[in-house]
Amino acid sequence: MFDALVTGLTSIFEIRVLAFLALGIFIGIWFGAVPGLGGIIGMLLLLPFTFDMEPLVAIALLLGLYTVTTTSDTIASVMLGIPGTAASQATILDGYPLAKRGEAPRAFGAAFAVSAYGGLFGAIALAISLPIVQPLILAFGSPEIFALALLGLAMVGALSGGSMVKGLASAAMGLLLSTVGTAQTVAEERYTFELEFLVDSLPLIPVVLGIFAIPELMELATRNISIARETENADTRSSIRDGIRDAVRHGWLATRSAAIGTYVGMLPGLGAAIVDWVAYGHAVQSAKDKSQFGQGDIRGVIAPEAANNATKGGALIPAVAFAIPGSLGTAILLSALILQDIRPGPDMLSTDLHITFSMVWMIMIANLVAAGLLMIWSRQVARLAFLPGHLLVPGVIVFVFMGSWLGGQSTIEAWVTCLVFGIVGYLMKSGGWARPPLILGLILGTIVENRFLLSMRTHDGIGWLANPIVIIVLVLGIVTVALSARSTIRSNARADTPQTGEGRARNPVMSLPVSVLFLAVFAGAAWTAWSWEQEVGQFPLVMAVPGVLLAAAAVLRDARSLISDDKTGQVARLREYASQAMLDRSLRFLGWLAAIIVATLFIGQKLALPIFVFAYLVAWGRFRPSVAAAYAIAVWVLMFGFYDRVIRLFFHEPLMAALVAGRLPEWIPEWLIL
């Protein structure tokens, strides 16, 4: 084994291998930092280029990209409150509040330090665990994975903000939304409303970007503020060092989180979906002082970032040792290995062990290089927090809409979905509804239903609930919920509990529409599912019935908060609540976003988005037309140069296409504007 370890190290120090590893790292940093792209799209784009490459060169290119996206995705999560990838969703809970305080460099310093540590931990665990991991992986069948998914959902208690009822209702809504599309075991559509767009499922990326990104961008636009609420810039170099010291001070938390990331990441189909939430929930539950979580607690950045980077090494264990892809990324990597005539399985632990160790070394090097580069660049990135919000909003909107397009089957319905959930996200944020539970439920719903049905079929009943591992995991979930409930009750009882942070706003005017909407959706879903056959309607009913009770409780609570004997005082309070949410300007901003969709139907994205950027900067930002024009041209270059020429994205064919066909001058190709 030692010989294979040394051979694996020396083989990657060939010039071509190192060069393509570096190229993969640079591409991975970009794809991780831009919301809606992520490592999957990057790997799919690079895979065809590897067909004629030498095996190690091809592996270096793909593995370099695959490894670092969960490091660079921290940029969007901290700076914008938008998950750069699905693995960085938990990071926004404390990373974005840190950026609001002008401490983005500190968050970056801690995040990149523990990302490198987590990546190294996962790679070393991969090397050590390969000979002994088979019994662990094989011990987790459908019942155990179902129980672990429930444990991930139990972490909703740590994410519920100021109301456990709203947090649980939000999680139930996410689980219900996961049932949209074709049923798991019967070819019957559920809640698709005869829309082809929904036959597969409700697309995750437009929902995530809508519910997280649009409310944050709306706040920047309507309040005319920068990301950082501080007026003076901090010493970024010192703050980055402070973040590194935070990572060292909380090294034991980082180690525990990396271990969670590695060994949960081994579980096929589940690890990447819940690992950052499990690590975040662990950080909250294990902390003596929980009061600052959600307000900008650095521990809320350290835990998920250490875990999601360690996941990459853990996910490779079943892929390399047993040819079982733990995620879509490892499935693509398996495809590349097979194309290079490298067969994952027992050979990777014997005759091809040096290749396996080469992959281990590549993960280590990629994590260190990416963390080092991002440490250097983060000083410049952090300065964006102090730029005027109006200068950031239009550019980020472009990335949000194009990310939704990429993740939503390249149809205009993806943009509508993003906008609709943007409105829901705005109401939830303003009304004190925690948004992460909804997304967590949406991610885990398919896994929970699938594993539950498989467990019932395989074990011919519920006897699998007596499995030792299932019992242990379920008990952990119950304890987690109980501790979270106690923590929430104590926090709400304190007079000095802050009103900032996810799910802690108190605005019944904005909360009541969400409560009523959820109640209507739960009731309608239950009524519809009642007539379906058992395997089709069982899971939606299990989610909808408790959802009705939870949403009804939220409606009563919000209504009671609005009722006042003093009619004059009640009107004044209603006006105050509407003013707090910037309701009038928020509606105008949503109108601008709707106008982008309408304009795209007529003139296409390549013209609609640059025109929006120009109009927004002039009308909202009061910038000079020359500045707005330069910005709009840069956006058009991005649309054409990156999304069209590099990604080869399928753009919407606008109504204008029929009008300009054959009528443009010969020196203007149609693909420049359509």
User: pLDDT of 368-423, one tens digit each?
Assistant: 899 899 888 877 787 777 888 889 999 999 989 998 898 877 788 999 999 999 99
Judge whether residue 618 has pLDDT over 90. Answer: yes
Q: What is the pLDDT of residue 225?
A: 78
Closest to 123 measured CA to CA, from 365, 413, 355: 365
b/e 316-345 (16+ beta carbons within 10 angstroms → b): bbbbbbbebbbbebbebbbbbbeebebebe
Closest to 156 measured CA to CA, from 144, 166, 147: 166
Q: What is the pLDDT of residue 542?
A: 87
Q: What is the pLDDT of residue 232?
A: 47
High-pLDDT (> 70) share of the chain, %: 84
Q: What is the pLDDT of residue 322?
A: 67
Judge whether residue 74 has pLDDT over 70. Answer: yes
Q: What is the pLDDT of residue 289?
A: 79
Quick check: 501 and 97 in contact, CB under 8 A?
yes
Mean pLDDT of 9-16: 84
Judge whether residue 310 has pLDDT over 70. Answer: yes
Identify the band that residue 153 occupies on the pLDDT scale cut at 50, 70 and 90. confident
Judge whether residue 231 has pLDDT over 50. Answer: no
* Residues 6+ away with beta carbon under 8 Å from 580: 430, 507
Judge whether residue 522 has pLDDT over 90. Answer: yes
Identify the band that residue 547 occupies on the pLDDT scale cut at 50, 70 and 90. very high
Tokens of 471: 């019992």
Between 492 and 98, whose confidence is greater? 98
Identify the band that residue 326 occupies on the pLDDT scale cut at 50, 70 and 90. low
Tokens of 309: 């980077």
The lowest-confidence range among 155-169, 349-363, 595-609 is 155-169
Q: What is the pLDDT of residue 492?
A: 60
Between 10 and 39, whose confidence is greater? 10
Q: What is the pLDDT of residue 648?
A: 79
Spatial distance between the Cα atoms of 390 and 222, rounded to a whole number of angstroms = 9
Mean pLDDT of 627-651: 88
What is the rounded average pLDDT for all residues in the chain? 82
Between 484 and 142, whose confidence is greater? 142
Judge whether residue 184 has pLDDT over 90. Answer: no
Quick check: 594 and 600 in contact, CB under 8 A?
no
Q: What is the pLDDT of residue 252?
A: 93
CA 533 to chain centre: 34
Q: How many CB atoms lie within 10 A of CB 637?
A: 11
Identify the band that residue 530 occupies on the pLDDT scale cut at 50, 70 and 90. very high
Spatial distance between the Cα atoms of 500 and 17, rounded to a whole number of angstroms = 48
Q: What is the pLDDT of residue 423?
A: 94
Identify the band that residue 233 occupies on the pLDDT scale cut at 50, 70 and 90. very low
Burial class (CB in 10 A: 0-12, 13-18, 19+), 5: middle
Mean pLDDT of 624-648: 89
High-pLDDT (> 90) share of the chain, %: 22
Burial class (CB in 10 A: 0-12, 13-18, 19+), 368: middle
Residue 646: DSSP 8-state? I
Judge whether residue 59 has pLDDT over 60. Answer: yes
Closest to 356 measured CA to CA, from 331, 330, 320, 329: 320
Q: What is the pLDDT of residue 137?
A: 63
Q: What is the pLDDT of residue 177?
A: 94
Identify the band that residue 639 occupies on the pLDDT scale cut at 50, 70 and 90. confident
Distance of CA 293 to CAs 97, 391, 500, Å?
10, 30, 11
3-state secondary structure of 448: helix
Residues written for the chain: 674
* Residues 6+ away with beta carbon under 8 Å from 85: 32, 38, 39, 69, 70, 73
Judge whether residue 579 has pLDDT over 80. Answer: no
Tokens of 284: 């909250």
pLDDT digits (tens, 9 = 90+) for 553-569: 999 988 888 775 455 56
Q: What is the pLDDT of residue 441?
A: 86
The lowest-confidence range among 122-126, 228-232, 285-289, 465-469 is 228-232
In 155-250, which ranges are continuous DSSP H helix? 164-177, 204-223, 236-249
Tokens of 445: 């719903």
Mean pLDDT of 628-647: 89
Spatial distance between the Cα atoms of 90 and 283, rounded to a whole number of angstroms = 11
Spatial distance between the Cα atoms of 237 and 235, rounded to a whole number of angstroms = 6
In 325-411, which ranges are continuous DSSP H helix? 328-339, 353-382, 389-407
Q: What is the pLDDT of residue 555?
A: 93
3-state secondary structure of 181: strand
pLDDT digits (tens, 9 = 90+) for 261-303: 887 777 766 656 678 888 888 888 788 877 778 888 899 999 9
What is the SS3 string spanning 607-671? HHHHHHHHHHHHHCCCCCHHHHHHHHHHHHHHHHHHHHHHCCCCCCCCCHHHHHCCCCCCCCCHH
The lowest-confidence range among 55-59, 161-165, 465-469 is 161-165
Between 487 and 514, whose confidence is greater? 514
